[in-house]
Structure 1
Amino acid sequence: MASAQRRPAQTARYEIVDLFAGPGGLDVAAHWLGIPVQGVEWDDDAYETRLAAGLSTVHGDVRDFGPSDFPHANVLAGGPPCQTYTVAGAGSGRRALNDVLSYVKQMAAGIDVTPSAAAFEDERTGLVLQPLRWIVESYKAGIPYEAVILEQVPAVLPVWEAMAEALEGFGYKTACGVLRSEEYGVPQTRRRAVLVANREFTPTLPTPTHRSYRKGLTRIEGQSALHECATMRDALAHLPSGNIRGEFEVVSNYGSGGDPRARGRRRSSEPSATVTGKISRNRIVDLNGVEQQRFTTYEAGLLQTFPYDFPWSGRAISQQIGNAIPPRLGVHVLASALGLDLDPREFDVAVQECWSHSKHGVLQVSTGQ
């Protein structure tokens, strides 16, 4: 049941506008919950995927739009580009963090910082401020969003914390922190900084359903009641043919649970390392060290918990897959922000459903009392 402080919520009352929508990770999550969503996406390749998947999309730059262009949306979501903040990138966003935090405070005070924010070393750094611009504009227009969901790489957590403080000044209750995707049934270790806000109740970050992953540890104190981590083997079993690879090992450029001695190697009986835009470069070997075919597009999508036949289109498909929020994690975050209970047992059914008929995979949700 939902917390007593949460009011009943019906998914039908919500409509989401998703900034930086990418190929549709959050859209798939919203679809499973029965919530309409319209995405804004400028990248041509991601847009092609969205068209093929039948996802409602405005093809353009979020900087050219605002709340008035989406008058029916009462929930704002967004996952701004992470390249300048991620530890795998050059780090210009991390170096500019103090400036970004200063702009958040100025925007919360009603100051237009658009000209200054455009002068970052990499223009993508300033895009993290766009959701706040939309929130401020909707508040000033007297039709504030009922809920807000933002996600990014962990390095952006200080920005989300500053935005949470700003949102509280606009009448929101907030929660933010870093989530570990494997703790929500995603067969992948991926950490994301998340901010959820609601005007009606105080949201909490979603409660883990699965154990966290630690290389070499089978039991973690305090997690005995949780499900075991989902594994790569589990994910590939969703293919119509099942997991025909058998047991294998993935060799990637990502570490394994923080243990440098095991860096870059995960067995199929473990969760995948973070799925990035370079997943197509990861080597796969059987347990005798014999090279296998690398992950197909659909296998990589399953590691992100997309339906097995999601219609990836356009170019740079590996990058599209790596950039997306895992839909399974997205469902948990949406449910937290909107006050919904859900039955996690329905996730596997939803992932197994053919996307073209995926209306049958809508998750069962409860409003709680």
Structure 2
Amino acid sequence: MPKTELKNVVDIFCGAGGLSAGFSKAGYNVVTGIDNNENSIETFRANHDCEPIVGDIQRQDVISDIKEAVSQNGYNTEEIDLVIGGPPCRGFSMANVRSDSAEHPLNELPARFLEIVRKISPEAVLIENVPRLLTVADGKFKQSIIARLESMGYNTTYGVLEAEKFGVPQKRRRVFFIGHKSAEPELPTQAEFEFKLPVTVKQAISDLPELPTGGGGELKMEYSFDNSEASEYVAEMRRHEEPGVVMNHRTTRNQEKTYRRFKHIPQGGNWRDIPEDLMKNYTNRQQTHDHIYQRLEEHEPAKTVANFRKQMIVHPTQNRLLSVREAARLQSFPDDYHFKGSSFNARQQMVGDAVPVNLAYSIGKSLRNCHATGELSSV
């Protein structure tokens, strides 16, 4: 007999916990998460009310570790209603344009994810990845995911969602596959928040304190102004944080030869706006990506924020790179979500790799009434 609602969630390839944060916000109970990155697990543990585990998904017996973690958190696998996860996408990303074959080693991870789903057998499943998964290897991976979900008894849908339409101040595209055993799933088509969409960069980060030219900042700082002066989006981000205090507002400190380049870049510009005599170390300009040294436009949502340090994403009005907290805001992480880890670079990477929280929330909210209605409600 079908259950009346989805509740208990296990997050596979959980990373820093963006998917879980969104589903928690939508009212789900996150039972555990698993990832092979210790920095990500430290961050997940600090922000979720459950014990996650460090584990290698490629190990054949990893399901035993997951079941043990579920048990240690007070549940059994029969109580898991939903398995969610984003198998690492570097094998499918635009940075790996040569991986359009089935042979890239990271491209096997969706299959491992689905094997775990088969052994847990939840009522529903959610898979997140980059849109190129749909076309890589002539669509082989898309077809394989759908076929395997259907073979396990799931009604399945998939599609690409635009993050800025779901409460995220960032133009980020992600593909989602949803499988459900007792309903015909649909992807959400609209979102409702207490702030107007789309959210611009300025609306997302303008309350954060100014940092020095070239970068800097501290682990713990004070906001530039109180919550009453902030945008509606910022008020939402600051709702649960310690009054007047912001964490993780730090950025890479660049050498003078690097930050001299920043002042030449207009909003919306990139490395092409920098005089050639300041870019002598870029010997192969034909292979330099347009997103390098890109300055954000304050009155638009941000471009995709991946590894914002390696991308050299520049603040819209200050001559420095983005801070961890600014990138987290652009990923819709609330300010009480603190990023841990052994290094500053690790925290930057975690934020860039995460699923935007409000995008995950929108999907989670649309799934809330799936059992009761026989169809996914709009957000």
State the TM-score, normalizing by the size of structure 1: 0.67
Whichever residue aligns with residue 29 of structure 2, its letter is: P
Equivalent position of 2:267 in the other structure: 249
Per-residue deviation, residues 280-335 of structure 1 (Å, max 9, x unmatched) = 7212353xxxx533221111100000012321111221110111000100011223
Q: 1:203 to 1:59 in 2, by over 3 A?
A: same
Equivalent position of 1:223 in the other structure: none
Determine if contact 2:296/2:314 at 8 Å carries over to the other structure: no
Determine if contact 2:191/2:362 at 8 Å carries over to the other structure: no
Equivalent position of 2:187 in the other structure: 205
Identity %: 28
Equivalent position of 1:313 in the other structure: 340
Distance 2:290 2:16 in 1: 35
Whichever residue aligns with residue 28 of structure 1, its letter is: A
Q: How does 1:223-262 map to 2 (within 5 A)?
A: 228-237=197-206, 240-241=223-224, 249=267
Per-residue deviation, residues 185-229 of structure 1 (Å, max 9, x unmatched) = 21101111100111111111111349xxxxxxxxxxxxxxx9642
Per-residue deviation, residues 137-194 of structure 1 (Å, max 9, x unmatched) = 34xxxxx210000000001124244322332233211110111111112110111110
Equivalent position of 1:150 in the other structure: 127
Determine if contact 1:172/1:197 at 8 Å carries over to the other structure: yes
Q: How does 1:63-78 map to 2 (within 5 A)?
A: 63=58, 64-66=61-63, 68-69=67-68, 70=70, 71=77, 72-78=79-85
Equivalent position of 2:17 in the other structure: 24
Determine if contact 2:187/2:363 at 8 Å carries over to the other structure: yes
Equivalent position of 1:293 in the other structure: 320
Per-residue deviation, residues 319-358 of structure 1 (Å, max 9, x unmatched) = 10111000100011223344369xxxxxxxxxxxxxxxxx
Equivalent position of 1:359 in the other structure: none
Equivalent position of 2:46 in the other structure: 52
Equivalent position of 1:35 in the other structure: 28
Distance 2:42 2:268 in 1: 29
Q: 1:194 to 1:261 in 2, by over 3 A?
A: closer
Equivalent position of 2:173 in the other structure: 191
Distance 1:187 1:23 in 2: 19
Per-residue deviation, residues 9-44 of structure 1 (Å, max 9, x unmatched) = 44xx52111110000101111221221211101102
Equivalent position of 2:215 in the other structure: none
Per-residue deviation, residues 104-155 of structure 1 (Å, max 9, x unmatched) = xxxxxxxxxxxxxxxx553x221121121122334xxxxx210000000001
Q: 1:267 to 1:339 in 2, by over 3 A?
A: same
Q: Secondary structure at the match of 2:362?
A: helix
Higher CA-based Rg: 2
Q: 1:318 to 1:198 in 2, by over 3 A?
A: same
Determine if contact 2:167/2:191 at 8 Å carries over to the other structure: yes
Confirm whether residue 61 of structure 1 aligns to residue 56 of structure 2: yes
Q: 1:132 to 1:285 in 2, by over 3 A?
A: closer
Equivalent position of 1:104 in the other structure: none
Q: Secondary structure at the match of 1:302?
A: helix
Q: Secondary structure at the match of 2:202?
A: helix
Distance 2:190 2:22 in 1: 17
Q: 1:33 to 1:261 in 2, by over 3 A?
A: closer
Distance 2:271 2:11 in 1: 31
Determine if contact 1:250/1:283 at 8 Å carries over to the other structure: no
Q: Using the TM superposition, name which of 315-324 and 60-69 deviates more.
A: 60-69
Confirm whether residue 133 of structure 1 aligns to residue 115 of structure 2: yes
Whichever residue aligns with residue 75 of structure 1, its letter is: L
Confirm whether residue 179 of structure 1 aligns to residue 161 of structure 2: yes
Q: 1:367 to 1:228 in 2, by over 3 A?
A: closer
Whichever residue aligns with residue 59 of structure 1, its letter is: V
Determine if contact 2:296/2:316 at 8 Å carries over to the other structure: no
Determine if contact 1:161/1:176 at 8 Å carries over to the other structure: no
- Structure 1 unpaired stretches of 5+: 1-6, 97-119, 139-143, 211-225, 255-259, 342-365
Q: 1:324 to 1:32 in 2, by over 3 A?
A: same
Q: Secondary structure at the match of 1:267?
A: coil
- Structure 2 unpaired stretches of 5+: 71-76, 209-222, 232-265, 273-288
Q: Secondary structure at the match of 1:17?
A: strand
Whichever residue aligns with residue 41 of structure 2, its letter is: Y
Determine if contact 2:13/2:88 at 8 Å carries over to the other structure: yes
Q: How does 1:336-351 map to 2 (within 5 A)?
A: 336-339=366-369
Distance 2:270 2:119 in 1: 43
May I ask how many residue pairs the two structures share in their alignment?
279
Q: 1:277 to 1:19 in 2, by over 3 A?
A: same
Whichever residue aligns with residue 149 of structure 1, its letter is: L
